[in-house]
Amino acid sequence: MEASNELQSEENKSMDKNRKRKLKTPAQVAGLENFYNEHKYPTEEMKSELAEDLGLTEKQVSGWFCHRRLKDKRLMKDEAVANGRQDRSSGVIQDRGSGLGQDSCGSSKHGDYKYLDPKEVESQGLHNNGFSAADIAYGNRNHHTENISGMEDTSSESSSYLQDRLFLQGQDPYDMESSRYLTPNRALPPLNPKSAINMRHKPSGYLKVKGEIENAAITAVKKQFGRNYREDGPLLGVEFDPLPPGAFEGKNAGPVHESYGVANPVLPNSPDISPVKRQPSLSSRYDTYYTKFSSQDSHIEGVDFGSLHDGSGFQDKQDKKARQSMKQRQTFYGNNHFPGRNSSLDLYEDDNGEASAYNSTKNHRICITRGVEGMRSDSTSNQSDHYEENPMIKQTDLLPHGYDNFNLKNVQRSGHVKSKHSNSVRNSHIPVDTEERGLSTRMAKEEIFNGGKKAKKIHRDADGARMLSKEITDAKRTKVDPLHQYHVKQAPIAEIDQRKIQRSGAPIPSSFSEDETADTSSSLG
C-alpha cells in the first residue's frame, strides 16, 4: 500500500514535472515549424531525428506535430468558413480547407502518404525551397526527400519552376538545401528506404478517395500561382496582389490584397520610410518575430541552441522575449510557408535585382530557421559555450552540405551581431519583409475572420514591435552592422518598418498609407 502510494506519488511527481509546461525555445519552434512546413506527417524516423536535433523527445515532437496539425486544421477551418461566407468561388481555398479538414490522420499511414496530401503537396511544392532545420539534419543523412517527389507529381510545374528559380539563385541556402535532394534531373531520389516504400503506398481513407481529386484542385491552383509567378514576374509582393483575386475569383481578393498590401513592395525606394518602422499588423508580427528571434539570434548566436531546453537562466530569459513574439507568429509562420518563402525570394531578387539582398534575407532567415540548426552552425563561430550546454547538439554536424555560403554569412553576421542591438536591427528588417509577404496573406485572412480578436492580437504585436522598434531604432542609431546596413537598404524592409510608424502615430508616407489603407479596407471588408 505504502509502496504503491509512494509509487503513485512518484508518478505524480514525475507527471507534474512533465506536466509542467515548458515552452520550446524559438529555435526549437523554428525547427519544428520548418520541418512541419515540409512534412506535416513526419515519419518516426524523421521525428526521431528532429527530436534529436532539437533536443526534444520524440514524444514532444510527435505531440507538437499533432497539435500543429490541429492548429492548422483549425485555422483552415476558420479560414474556410470565413471564405465560404465571403466568397463562394473560392474553390481553391476551400479545397485546401477541406483537404486539411479531412486530412485527419484517421489513417496512421497518412504520414506515409503525405506526398499525396494536398497540404503536403502544396507546402512541399512551395516549401521545398524553404529551409528546414530538420532538413539539414536529414539532408546530411539523406533521409527524407519524399515530399519533393510527391510534389513533382502534382505540382511539378510550379514547384519545379520555383525550384529552378531558387536553384538558379543558388544563393539561398534553403534552396540549396532542397536542391540537395534533387538529382540532376531534379527528381528526388528516394533517400529513405522508408520513404521509397511510402511512395509506393496508396493513400488510404480520405486520401484514397479524394487525394487525387484534391490534388488536382490543388495542382490547378498551384499552377495558377506558378504561372503567375513565372510569367508575370517574381514580384510576388507587388504583382501577385492582383493575381489572387483573379485566380480565386474574388473571395481571396481581400485577403490576398491585404497580405500583399502589408508587404507591399511598391514603396521600395521611398526614402521617407524609416527602416525601423513597420506596419503594425502583420508585419509587426513577423517583424517582431524575427527581431526577437534575432534577439535570440544573440541567442542563436550566443546561445541558445545549445540551451535548447535546458530552460535555465540565461537562455530562458532571452527565450522568453523571443517566445512572446514567436508564439504569435508561429501560427502563421507555419501555415504560410510557401507564400512567404516564394514571395520573399521573388521579391528580393526581382525587386531589387540584387541577389545579395536576396541572400541577405535568406541568410537572415536561415539564421532563424536554423534556429535550431542554424544556431549550431553559427555556434561554430563562437557559441561553443552554449552548445556545451546541450550535449545533444553536435556542432560538427551542424553544417549541412551546401550551406557553406550561408553559414559563413551567418557566422559573419553573428560575428558582428553580438550586440543585441545590432541583432535587433538586422533581424527586424530582413525577415519581416521576407516571410511577411507570404505570411501576411494568411494573417490578413485571419484578421478578417477573427475580426476584433485578431485585431487585438495584431495590436499586441504592434506593441511588441513598437517596443522593439524603439530598441531597434536606438540600436540603429548607435550601431549598424555592415550586413545589416545592407539589409536596411532594401526597400521592402523599409516599407515594413514604416508600419511601425503608423502604429506609433508617426507620420506616414502617403504611398504607404495607401497600402495600409488598402490592407485595412481589404481586411475589413
Partner DNA sequence: TTGTGTTTTATTGCCTCC
Partner DNA sequence: GGAGGCAATAAAACACAA
Provide, rounded to whole angstroms, the least separation between the CB of residue 107 and DNA. 4
Q: Which of residues 203-222 bind DNA (CB under 7 A)?
A: 204-205
Distance between alpha carbon 412 and the CA centroid of its chain, in Å? 23
CA distances from 98 to 42, 164, 295 (A): 21, 30, 38
Which of 31, 97, 99, 111 is in the footprint of DNA by CB under 7 A? Answer: 111
CA dihedral 151, 257, 516, 342 (to 10 degrees): 20
> What are the grid coordinates assigned to 47, written together?
521525428
Q: Which is nearer to DNA, 32 or 411 (CB)?
A: 32
Helices (H), 55-117: 58-86, 91-102, 110-113
29 binds DNA (CB under 7 A): yes
DSSP track, 205-227? HHHHHHHHHHHHHHHHHHHHHHH
285 binds DNA (CB under 7 A): no
Which of 6, 9, 13, 106 is in the footprint of DNA by CB under 7 A? Answer: 106
CA distance 268 to 491: 4
Provide, rounded to whole angstroms, the least separation between the CB of residue 93 and DNA. 19
Which of 88, 141, 320, 394 is in the footprint of DNA by CB under 7 A? Answer: 320
350 binds DNA (CB under 7 A): no
> What are the grid coordinates assigned to 21, written together?
509546461
Q: Which of residues 33-62 bind DNA (CB under 7 A)?
A: 41-42, 44, 59-60, 62
CA distance 371 to 344: 19
Provide, rounded to whole angstroms, the least separation between the CB of residue 131 and DNA. 19
CA distance 393 to 201: 34
Task: Of 34, 25, 46, 24, give the one whose Cα is nearest residue 365.
Answer: 34
CA distance 269 to 495: 9
Stretch that binds DNA, among 20-28, 147-155, 371-379, 434-442 (CB under 7 A): 20-28
105 binds DNA (CB under 7 A): yes
280 binds DNA (CB under 7 A): no
Q: Which of residues 451-490 bind DNA (CB under 7 A)?
A: 453, 456-457, 459-464
445 binds DNA (CB under 7 A): no
CA distance 260 to 265: 8
Which of 195, 315, 325, 428 is in the footprint of DNA by CB under 7 A? Answer: 325
Provide, rounded to whole angstroms, the least separation between the CB of residue 105 and DNA. 2
Provide, rounded to whole angstroms, the least separation between the CB of residue 115 and DNA. 13
Which of 110, 277, 370, 484 is in the footprint of DNA by CB under 7 A? Answer: 110
Stretch that binds DNA, among 19-27, 209-217, 361-369, 407-415 (CB under 7 A): 19-27
Provide, rounded to whole angstroms, the least separation between the CB of residue 430 and DNA. 21
319 binds DNA (CB under 7 A): yes
446: left (phi over 0), alpha (psi -120 to 50) or beta: alpha
Judge whether 260 and 441 are in contact, CB under 8 Å: yes
Judge whether 173 and 366 are in contact, CB under 8 Å: yes
Which of 160, 274, 330, 383 is in the footprint of DNA by CB under 7 A? Answer: 330
Provide, rounded to whole angstroms, the least separation between the CB of residue 362 and DNA. 24
DSSP 8-class letter at 237: I
CA distance 103 to 362: 31
CA distance 417 to 424: 9
Interface ranges with DNA (CB under 7 A): 15, 18-24, 29, 41-42, 44, 59-60, 62-67, 69-71, 73, 103-111, 204-205, 319-321, 323-325, 327-328, 330-331, 453, 456-457, 459-464
